[in-house]
Amino acid sequence: MANIIEVEDLHFRYRDGTEALRGLSLSIRKGSRVAILGPNGAGKSTLLLHLNGIYLPARGKVRILGREITAKTERWVKSKVGLVFQDPDDQVFSSSVWEDVSFGPINMNLSAEEVRTRVEQALRAVQMEEHKNKAPYHLSYGQKKRVAIAGVLAMEPEIIVLDEPMGYLDPRGKDNLLAILNELHRREITIVIATHDVDLAAEWADRVIIMKNGRTLAEGDTSLLADEELVRAADLRFPVVVEIFRRLPELNLNPLPKTISEAVEVIRAELKHASWEHF
């Protein structure tokens, strides 16, 4: 089983008549890090809610681990796909951190012992165990975000979907979250994020899906983010690293560097080259 998520010709219309998805298809491989990009109203959030079975497909199919999401499998899929909302205040609603993280496992009707172990493990994974008795409204935004992720981790999903994970986080909070995402990747959890942050996508993702008007515009590796036509069509902009090297056509680079480490490597090679020429 290569593709852990498969979406086929998915359509969805909100009750007010907005057509959010119009024949969206995409596939995601197990263990990959996927960034979904696209302008506001492209249907990203609607797609995310389909992946976890909150919305059931009006037309088309969503398959998780090879099983189609229907009214029958909708409960099952909630334990397989964890959904982290953008605003942790929407998600973290209990009166203590511990209590909140236990919410998912309790809904899964696990044994009390199992609930306790899972909550402890999840809190440790996001380094929040020392705050477990605190009230969520006494936490910082970044800490609340970590609690929201722990709440999903405690359900031991195989896929974690995050809506704009870095939104409103301070630089330190972003670094912490990135470290957590890397750790989850190491555990072979498939991670899907929806974001407007092209720099994050270029730096972190190994696969990029670009959406527009409820359809997939392009699917591929991060080199899509350096594709001028695509970037314009999707109302995106180039990642900073790409933008810098686009303005240096004299370097004759193809492909362009997309991450900071790629850029550093290129610059270092150029410096070495230049110093030799100096001789």
Residue 94 in the binding site for another protein (CB under 8 A): yes
Residue 117 in the binding site for another protein (CB under 8 A): no
Beta strand 33-37 with 190-194: parallel, antiparallel or unpaired? parallel
Which of the ranges 87-95, 211-219, 233-241, 244-252 carries the binding residues for another protein, by CB under 8 A? 87-95
Residue 158 in the binding site for another protein (CB under 8 A): no
Among 2, 15, 16, 90, indicate the residue that binds another protein (CB under 8 A).
90
Closer Cβ to another protein, 98 or 238, answer by number: 98
In the numeric block, which tokens belong to residue 90?
A: 């929407």
In the numeric block, which tokens belong to residue 106?
A: 């309790």
Among 18, 95, 117, 140, indicate the residue that binds another protein (CB under 8 A).
95
Which of the ranges 20-28, 109-117, 179-187, 247-255 carries the binding residues for another protein, by CB under 8 A? 109-117
Q: Measure the CA–CA gap between 68 and 51, rounded to whole angstroms.
A: 11
Give me the least distance between CB of 125 and another protein, in Å please. 16
Give me the least distance between CB of 52 and another protein, in Å please. 5
Tell me the residue type at 194.
A
Q: Measure the CA–CA gap between 211 and 197, rounded to whole angstroms.
A: 14
Number of residues that bind another protein (CB under 8 A): 38
Beta strand 81-84 with 67-68: parallel, antiparallel or unpaired? unpaired
Beta strand 67-68 with 59-64: parallel, antiparallel or unpaired? antiparallel
Residue 133 in the binding site for another protein (CB under 8 A): yes
Q: Measure the CA–CA gap between 35 and 121, rounded to whole angstroms.
A: 27
253 DSSP 8-state letter: -
**Residue span 1-40 as binding mask against another protein, x where in contact by CB under 8 A, dash where not:** ----------------------------------------
In the numeric block, which tokens belong to residue 32?
A: 């990959």
Please answer whether residues 126 and 53 qualify as being in contact, where contact means their C-beta atoms are separated by less than 8 angstroms: no
In the numeric block, which tokens belong to residue 75?
A: 């409960």
Q: Which residues bind another protein (CB under 8 A)?
A: 49, 52, 54, 75, 78-79, 82-83, 85, 87, 89-91, 93-96, 99, 102-112, 115-116, 133, 135-137, 151-152, 155
